[in-house]
Amino acid sequence: MPKKTVEDIEVTGKKVLLRVDFNVPLDTNTGDISDDSRIQASLPTIKYLVDHKAKIILCSHLGRPGGKVVENLRMAPIAQRLSKLMGLPVSTASDCIGQEVENKVEALKEGDILVLENLRFHPEEEANDDGFARKLAKLAEIYVNDAFGSAHRTHASTVGVAKYLPAAAGFLMNKELKVMEKLLHNPERPSACLIGGAKVSDKIELLQNMLKKVDILLVGGGMAATFLKTQGYEVGRSLIEDDKLGLARKLLQEAREWGVPFLLPIDVVVVEEIRVGAPTRVVPTTTIPSDSHIVDIGPQSIELFYSELKKCRTIIWNGPMGIYEIPQFAQGTRSIASFLSTLNATTVIGGGSSAEIVQEMGLTDKMTHVSTGGGASLRFLEGVTLPGVRVLLDK
């Protein structure tokens, strides 16, 4: 069911509590914002509210303060960056609830922007405490959620406040939902799902759901080792989830029954020790040495994946092809990202590390959609209704 958006609700002169995902990466040395793409992603909703003379109260979490005040996780630098991007003054509050905050809200004029303090300074936020949600809701007349990246969390600011205020989606949230819905229910064919990452357990529900939605599945990254092991291959000292071998075997069997090709690497990069500067070797998956670790897909696997992906009209990518944090083990991941950026197809990057890689390589504009929510997009593609979406008003 489509959800109401900010355009479906009268906001002029109203106090609007806007949940955004401004959980931006900070430079560990300087504390400066190293990537403001999450702030920029919500600018259309904020500008709409400014243009329509709403009184805008922004709330977000930042980092993992664990329910207490952490000085280097305050929202002031985010407010400063937002002010610069908007070309407008942006005020801040020293907390996100309480009398002082209520006073600041009452002083807002139409088109003013106030950024509340880090929601997660209060343990009640992540606990979805009803009293905390009521205090947040007390600040406003309308609630708008533009934080797709937090929509899979049952928190006070994503779920609780919607009990007390009319709740609608922001433009970013609406865009993410439309893209993900199309992927699940009406993709251009043929469609492919390319999955990487370290563990099968992190992606098992995604694989099970997408198996019935796409025309081909391709698996790389550390999780490929578990699937290779089920086929009787030696995988050396690579991470194996022994308790997931049965599930991996079952998935391969289901793929055969559904007639969906399930592609695994045919060659891999291996090392004896996972460290920067370790000597690497490329070996076929049939001859992986018993004393080695798989750290990336090999050149033949890259070419195999290319040949299959270029046949597709829709491609979903979630998870790296190797240990991309170490540059010499990132060739497979970077090659796949570069290749996807050249295709005349719908290319959707499922947030998280995949999105970070694409952004770092400057390829964001060459993809159809780069999701702002790793965990949220993963859960959505698993077929789960996100808690933060369920509570929004239906159109």
Residues labelled catalytic: 38, 199, 352, 375
For residue 23, is it left (φ>0), alpha (ψ between -120 and 50) or beta?
Answer: beta
> What amino acid occupies position 352?
G
Give CA–CA dist 123/68, Å, rounded.
Answer: 7
Are 294 and 323 in contact by the 8 Å Cβ rule? The answer is no
Using a 10 angstrom Cβ sphere, with 0-12 exposed, 13-18 middle and 19 or more buried, the burial of residue 17 is buried
The answer to whether the CB of 257 falls within 8 A of the CB of 208 is no
CB atoms within 10 A of CB 256: 11
Q: Which of 148-183 are b and which e, b meaning 16 or more Cβ less than 10 Å from the residue's Cβ?
A: bbbbbbbbbbbbbbbebbbbbbbbbbbbbbebbeeb
CA distance 367 to 360: 13
Please list, in sequence order, all residues whose beta carbon lies within 8 angstroms of the beta carbon of residue 271, skipping any fewer than 6 positions away.
278, 279, 280, 281, 292, 293, 295, 329
Strand order in the sheet with 113-115: 91-92, 113-115, 55-59, 15-19, 142-145, 167-169
- Do 340 and 364 touch, CB atoms closer than 8 A? no
CA 166 to CA 286: how far, in whole Å? 58
